[in-house]
Amino acid sequence: MLDTERAAAGRSIRDHVLQLPEVAAAGTVAAYYSTGTEPDTHSLVFALWKRGSYVVLPLLLPDGDLDWASYEGPDSLVPGPRGLLQPAEPARGPGTVARADVVLVPALAVAASGTRLGRGGGSYDRALARVRGQVPTIGLIYDEELLPVVPSEPHDQAVRGVARPAHGITWLPPADGS
């Protein structure tokens, strides 16, 4: 995918996410700063911050878990492990994600059941296990990455919805079928 296509997909996802009532009402949004071939989240993170949301981004810990720190604009980011940019602000603790009103999650693909395929480290599965069931957890993916099924393990945590460039927000059925 070309950088221009990735940026356009990111802008479209940004617009869909910003239109969500759950996001408009959110005091705290846990997000991530995209890297590599992921849909670009830089303008989304900036827009959330500019409109007054308290935005927290992950800090990758040595054990693969995620801590969280405040995003204070693009100049507040520093290089982190694995080529990630992360906030230079003080860490708030791994439990910070549990206090978010909305959680935006990276994914390589998401199944129609909400099962998310990540990069295999389990970092987001640990973070999502801390999030209350009613909190919107939204995977940000390309249009073709919502699939009937994806490989899963017992520890995998599902997302409640996905945001895709051409299709907007799709809410997924709860994993327990209720």
Asked if residue 91 belongs to a domain, the reply is yes
- Tell me phi and psi for residue 33, to 5 degrees: -100, 110
Asked if residue 177 belongs to a domain, the reply is no
CATH number at residue 49: 3.40.50.10420
CB atoms within 10 A of CB 87: 23
Q: Is 93 helix (H, G, I), strand (E, B) or coil?
A: coil
Q: What is the DSSP letter of 64?
A: S
Q: Which is it for strands 116-117 and 109-111: parallel, antiparallel or unpaired?
A: antiparallel
Per-residue pLDDT of 50-75, as tens digits, reads 999 999 999 999 999 999 999 999 99
- Report pTM: 0.95
Q: What is the pLDDT of residue 62?
A: 93
Rg (CA), the chain: 15
Q: Give the separation between CA 29 and CA 26, rounded to whole angstroms.
A: 7
Give the residue ranges of the chain where pLDDT is below 50: 178
Number of domains in the chain: 1
Asked if residue 117 belongs to a domain, the reply is yes
Q: What is the pLDDT of residue 173?
A: 87
